[in-house]
Structure 1
Amino acid sequence: MAAACSLSSLLSLQTSLEYGLVDADSVQEKERLVYQYLKKVDERETDLKVPEFQEGLEWLNTKEPLFLSKQLSGKVVVLDFFTYCCINCMHILPDLHALEQKHSDKDGVVVIGVHSAKFPNEKILDNIKSAIIRYNITHPVVNDPDGSLWQDLEVSCWPTLVILGPRGNMLYSLVGEGHKDRLLLYCSTALHFYKEKGEIKDHRIGIDLYGNSVPSSLLAFPSKVILDSTGEKLVISDTGHHRILIAKRNGQLLYAIGGKMSDTENHLIRMVDLLEEKVSTIAGVGMQGTDKEGGAFGKQQPISSPWDLALGTAGSNEYNVLWIAMAGTHQIWALFLDDGKLPKGSEIKKGTCVRFAGSGNEENRNNAYPHKAGFAQPSGLSLALEEPWNCIFIADSESSTIRMVSLKDGAVKHLVGGERDPVNLFAFGDIDGVGFNAKLQHPLGVAWNKQKGLLYVADSYNHKIKVVDPTTKECTTLAGTGEAGSSFAQNLTDCAFNEPGGLAVNENGTLLYIADTNNHQIKILDLEAQHVSLLPITLQLADTVDSLRSPVRPPKQSRSSPRIEMSSVTVSVGQSLQCELALSLPADTKLTEEAPSLWALSSEGNDWLQGQNTVGQIQDLSIPQLIPVTIPLGQPVTGLVLVVDVFLYFCSKKDGACMMKGVTFRQPLQLSSSNQTSTSKVMLQYSF
């Protein structure tokens, strides 16, 4: 359906308003100008109608498809044209959250995310579902894979906001990021204007958050993984849980550190001192910056969406620089941990945070002068400090290229992917080849193997791991089918990943650790044996940074998980209670050996389980799982409830598809006055 108007016709009307707002001295004057503007625009409603959403589009976070002429009638509607790879689109999500906090759908404001994909991988509904959970998007989202509404309104870039009146009439547009104040002003004034006209309705639109139906997991969207200098510990960015996990190589947890560390959404770089058990900020001010030069000391320097870090050198043999993939400004920055200097630069003091490479323009531009080069959302870094390389390898996601920056002279060079035109950010695909003939799709991670002289690439949207020989610039597929999945196989190219985002190579170059982001897993690719296995993250926590208030806990049950109310059992103080779990799986499935199925105990009312073992693994379902509980002193006679949560990871024997299911048993207990010494038993049975 063709639109009666485009954004260009709206922008011509909006230009004079924007000029007036710049000169306005008070909030009241701004509101008056917007109110007068609305009068003019509303009179031209027939020229500014938006076409209806097409039938058959896929909707998320709603109970049913929404239409401007039905559920959205009588609402001020904000259409957010976005694609989930876009860092600028991520930057406006806090603005939309602020709007939703101020005005609900009952008040008359509704935000609709119109997902208009850039990459083919982003058109797939399951991938959008993962993004919605990962970015905590709580408003309705419609998947418009062919960009029908985008084309009708002549939208030209991500993100673009189009604000509609209660009759589906276009009111304003906001292109790009950084318009929070305008967004709130426009929506609030539009509400006031149309309430006076009696056109705002207070009905609910039927929000049904997709994330509520998804089971929790021990890891949630792990985005990066590295090995420490000893090679004995793994550090995992557990993005969905907003924490950093430190584990042994066998998966046993050592630390769980709360908060966001290479803190993309908080726009901070954080440092964890494991000896002092403290977290401190070493760069950033806690809000998004627009500075593209830097030069201030770390905690005074605003930064923008740091996506990856690499500890390295600059003019010294010591590890004195923290290199930063500054995705938000499309640059590479350096945070000096000691005095030093950049290639061919002047001396820089310890603590200074400064741009190293990139003009700040979003492009795929290589140049001998680092400040004249251009990046497009750099998202992964890996250092090769030995000769002849002495460089930083970069996964430049939006240009779908792998680039390198010399640490000798700062020259930025192309390695594989993309094309020669620096402004074309649509040269992507899935082709093994050499240099520009190779094609990638939104790579997010790189890892250098100095023993083999090879660079591994997380080709995220192709769901593959690729390998690049920087000497010949040849790029080939190492593992992955090219389709999203989680299966294991004897052949590497038959193994499946789902948007892998981070990589790390062990010290002797034999193992590749993979943050398989949308599968919520860390996988290990044995480069010698040529097979992939799952790293089981176990809950036997060796130590926890308590001051960070994030102990390791079992996953939370999904709201859709069964909840079984048991009959009350009479027990006495000091008596043992034996819970026997009798569980059975669907036919032709088996427990996932690599993933820790488990039970977890909790209590209602007060923490009467304190000091007892409250978490245990489930490894064999052929016999009942025994869970011992002791009833301690000082408990109330009534209201004592034991809660047993069960989480099972299991896979199909036929196609290898894996899943996690949960069930909750709620066991009321009644205290008797007699002192029983025998052990009471309760049977907890469930078939999945």
Structure 2
Amino acid sequence: MTTTPRVRAPELRGRGWLNTAGPLTLRELRGRFVLLDFWTFCCINCLHVLDELRPVEEEFADELVVIGAHSPKFVHEADPDALRAAVERYSVHHPVLDDPELITWQAYAARAWPTLVLIDPEGYVVAHYAGEGHAHAIRALLRELVQEHRSRGTLQPGDSPYLPPEPEGTDLRFPAKAVALPDGDFLVADAGHDAVVRLSATMEVTARFDGFREPNGLCLLPSEVAEEVGYDVVAADTVAHRLVGLTLADGSTRALAGDGRQWMQGDGTDRLSSPWDVAWWQDRVWIAMAGIHQLWTFDPLTGSVEVAAGTTNEGLLDGPLEEAWFAQTSGLAADGDTLWLADSETSSLRRIRNGAVETMVGEGLFDFGFVDGERATARLQHPLGVSVLPDGTLGIADTYNGAVRRFDPATGLLSTIASGLAEPSGLVLAGEAAYVVESAAHVLAPLDLSSSAADSGMETRTQRPVTEVGATVLLETPFSPPPGQKVDDRFGPSAQLVVTATPPSLIRSGEGRSTELTRTLELDPAVGNGVLHVAARAASCDIDGGEGAACRMHQQDWGVPIRIIPDGAASLVLPLAGPTT
């Protein structure tokens, strides 16, 4: 661990506050620990961290104040109403700073979603973490520091500044996806109510199936398969990290895959990570494993779960299934020999055919917009759903544009069917009729497929600050084990660093994979600018060791926009985890 001078935590600045009575300042929170969680509500890793932190918040309720600093990636996320809805949707039970201009983000030199910064009772930054999986490290550090500050008299426990919003009562709450049933009814994943709901053709609730945790995708099995396995529907029970089988006749459920714990590096297929959608294709259920940027399959007849595509690296990379990169795939639709994908974080429409992945619309992690036209220039903004329409075109729930779009595979053209919708997240066909799940309006609404609307012409990139660097850059991803743990090198190198770039020509040398967390990169000034994709991980285990010792994997992916200039920085530090002093 590198020792550095103590750094006073910058004050919190932004547009406003949610979940509290008024603006909060670090000065008034002196005497307590403050944990800043830099998040954005599109980011699955950020949603994981919200759940990871709940037991930490409970254990240190008197000594710790958690503050979510919302730093948006997409234009839609900067809308205060959209943020307010997201805070309710994801059960954020602490104050949230609304920072659409990334003022506080820049003050704390955050470079990734999520980033966690721990501030001590005297107002100094004491630890910095990037990514998810750090709750145990934060808990261990707090246990040490609470005792230290209590003995010094600098700890002054107090009440939480959190004030919950007034709940609204609606039949559906943030519904995610829906499927049509043979009898004319609908089945809806009612994520906000932790349930799956049956609706009649007149949109009346006729049955509610509880026992889920923010379910999203639903897959109606072929009748002959359902008869053999004894259940009708496979549900992606997203926050519970599992697949659930639902029998419609009696409402019974059964766990099909996943043990309820989130998959982490090194785990097998007995654990899942935020399955978001499911679809029947090639005699199996295909799973959009959003939490780790892969596609998996589940065979209901054998119970077999397999990895089908993706490396767990996040990004937009086409090619053979085992080499492709995905980015939080959130929508699936099968059409003959093709599986269509809505890849939300790259704002893209992609397809799988003949064992390979191909992008039809989309440019990468930071490029998005609301533009119709040819596939090379068309743009989406964080789409969550895709469906095959009766004429063979694709309907896309273009969620953050509030629109339903149409893509024609024959012409390669993208157009707009409807706009002005409230976060559409799924489409469903029932005979000749079409419906859209308007998640933020809490309804399943009719959709006229013959209508049309205009795009906004918006084409933009994520408004993150660009890091100016020189042509030679020392990349460092420092890691310190949590208190009570040590670097786990019993079975060889415990760390891994993977570096790539968009465009690939940005890096002259230094790309690729290594077991060192430090790397010298030679960049090409002629390319000028682009995005560095950095993935780091490190393992640690209990110092005492022995049988039953707890071991942890710490990991994070960064996408860092850079610009090469003659007098740019000679180093780029991306802290993976650890105290700052």
Query: What is the TM-score normalised by the length of structure 1?
Result: 0.61
Q: Which runs of 5+ in 2 are unaligned?
A: 213-234, 454-581
- The residue aligned with 1:445 is 385
- Per-residue CA distance 1:442-496 (angstroms, 9 max, x = gap): 00001111x301100111111111111012221111101xxxxxxxxxxxxxxx3
- The residue aligned with 1:69 is 27
Equivalent position SS for 2:424: coil
- The residue aligned with 1:400 is 347
Q: Is the contact between residue 59 and residue 143 of structure 1 (CA under 8 Å) also seen in structure 2?
A: yes
Q: CA RMSD in A?
A: 1.8
Deviation of the 1:274 alpha carbon: 2.2
Among residues 327, 330, 348, which one is paired with 1:376 in the alignment? Answer: 327
Among residues 359, 363, 374, which one is paired with 1:434 in the alignment? Answer: 374
Amino acid at match of 1:454: T
- The residue aligned with 1:52 is 11
Counterparts in 2 of 1:117-516, with a 5 A limit?
Answer: 117-210=72-165, 213-228=166-181, 230=182, 232-260=184-212, 261-290=235-264, 301-313=270-282, 320-338=283-301, 350-367=302-319, 369-385=320-336, 390-406=337-353, 409-416=354-361, 418-419=362-363, 424-449=364-389, 451-480=390-419, 496-507=420-431, 510-516=432-438
Q: Is the contact between residue 357 and residue 410 of structure 1 (CA under 8 Å) also seen in structure 2?
A: no
Amino acid at match of 1:514: V
Equivalent position SS for 1:98: helix
Tell me the distance in 2 between the aligned counterparts of 1:511 and 1:468.
Answer: 19
Deviation of the 1:180 alpha carbon: 1.8
Shift in CA distance, 231/374, structure 1 to aligned 2, threshold 3 Å: farther
Equivalent position SS for 1:475: strand
Shift in CA distance, 327/529, structure 1 to aligned 2, threshold 3 Å: closer
Q: Is the contact between residue 418 and residue 452 of structure 2 (CA under 8 Å) also seen in structure 1?
A: no
Tell me the distance in 2 between the aligned counterparts of 1:49 and 1:415.
Answer: 48
Shift in CA distance, 529/122, structure 1 to aligned 2, threshold 3 Å: closer
Decide which moves more: 195-204 or 233-242: 195-204
Tell me the distance in 1 between the aligned counterparts of 2:266 and 2:33.
Answer: 36
Equivalent position SS for 1:255: strand
Shift in CA distance, 293/200, structure 1 to aligned 2, threshold 3 Å: closer
Task: State yes or no: 1:524 paired with 2:471.
Answer: no
Deviation of the 1:57 alpha carbon: 2.8
- The residue aligned with 1:79 is 36
Q: Is the contact between residue 99 and residue 184 of structure 1 (CA under 8 Å) also seen in structure 2?
A: yes
Amino acid at match of 1:399: T
Equivalent position SS for 2:122: coil
- Per-residue CA distance 1:335-369 (angstroms, 9 max, x = gap): 0123xxxxxxxxxxx211111111110011110x1
Q: Is the contact between residue 308 and residue 379 of structure 1 (CA under 8 Å) also seen in structure 2?
A: yes
Equivalent position SS for 2:55: helix
Tell me the distance in 2 between the aligned counterparts of 1:329 and 1:288.
Answer: 10
Deviation of the 1:277 alpha carbon: 3.4
Give the number of the structure whose residues are more often helix, by fraction.
1
Equivalent position SS for 2:146: helix
Amino acid at match of 2:120: G
Deviation of the 1:285 alpha carbon: 0.7
Tell me the distance in 2 between the aligned counterparts of 1:126 and 1:476.
Answer: 27
Task: State yes or no: 1:100 paired with 2:57.
Answer: yes
Deviation of the 1:250 alpha carbon: 2.2
- The residue aligned with 2:461 is none
Tell me the distance in 1 between the aligned counterparts of 2:81 and 2:249.
Answer: 42
Tell me the distance in 2 between the aligned counterparts of 1:225 and 1:460.
Answer: 15
Tell me the distance in 1 between the aligned counterparts of 2:20 and 2:167.
Answer: 15
Tell me the distance in 1 between the aligned counterparts of 2:451 and 2:325.
Answer: 39
Shift in CA distance, 89/381, structure 1 to aligned 2, threshold 3 Å: same
Equivalent position SS for 1:95: helix
Tell me the distance in 2 between the aligned counterparts of 1:103 and 1:158.
Answer: 24
Equivalent residue pairs, number: 431
Equivalent position SS for 2:369: coil
**Identity level (%):** 35
Q: Which runs of 5+ in 1 are unaligned?
A: 1-10, 14-40, 314-319, 339-349, 481-495, 532-688
Give the number of the structure whose residues are more often strand, by fraction.
2
Deviation of the 1:253 alpha carbon: 3.1
Amino acid at match of 2:168: P
Q: Is the contact between residue 331 and residue 385 of structure 2 (CA under 8 Å) also seen in structure 1?
A: yes
Deviation of the 1:247 alpha carbon: 2.1
Q: Which has the higher contact order (CA 8 A, sep 6+)?
A: 2
Tell me the distance in 2 between the aligned counterparts of 1:12 and 1:217.
Answer: 53
Q: Is the contact between residue 60 and residue 209 of structure 1 (CA under 8 Å) also seen in structure 2?
A: no
Larger radius of gyration: 1
Q: Is the contact between residue 81 and residue 113 of structure 1 (CA under 8 Å) also seen in structure 2?
A: yes
Tell me the distance in 2 between the aligned counterparts of 1:189 and 1:293.
Answer: 30
Q: Is the contact between residue 444 and residue 502 of structure 1 (CA under 8 Å) also seen in structure 2?
A: yes
Shift in CA distance, 118/530, structure 1 to aligned 2, threshold 3 Å: closer
Shift in CA distance, 430/231, structure 1 to aligned 2, threshold 3 Å: farther
Deviation of the 1:191 alpha carbon: 1.4
- Per-residue CA distance 1:281-311 (angstroms, 9 max, x = gap): 11111110126895x5xxxx11100001112
Runs in 1 of length 4+ with deviation above 3 angstroms? 291-294, 528-531
Shift in CA distance, 293/66, structure 1 to aligned 2, threshold 3 Å: closer
- The residue aligned with 2:65 is 110
Tell me the distance in 1 between the aligned counterparts of 2:97 and 2:130.
Answer: 20
Shift in CA distance, 518/173, structure 1 to aligned 2, threshold 3 Å: same
Amino acid at match of 2:287: I
- Per-residue CA distance 1:369-411 (angstroms, 9 max, x = gap): 10100100000011102xxxx11111000000000011xx221
- Per-residue CA distance 1:645-667 (angstroms, 9 max, x = gap): xxxxxxxxxxxxxxxxxxxxxxx
Equivalent position SS for 2:415: strand
Amino acid at match of 2:41: Y
Tell me the distance in 2 between the aligned counterparts of 1:293 and 1:189.
Answer: 30
Counterparts in 2 of 1:6-45, with a 5 A limit?
Answer: 12-13=2-3, 44-45=5-6
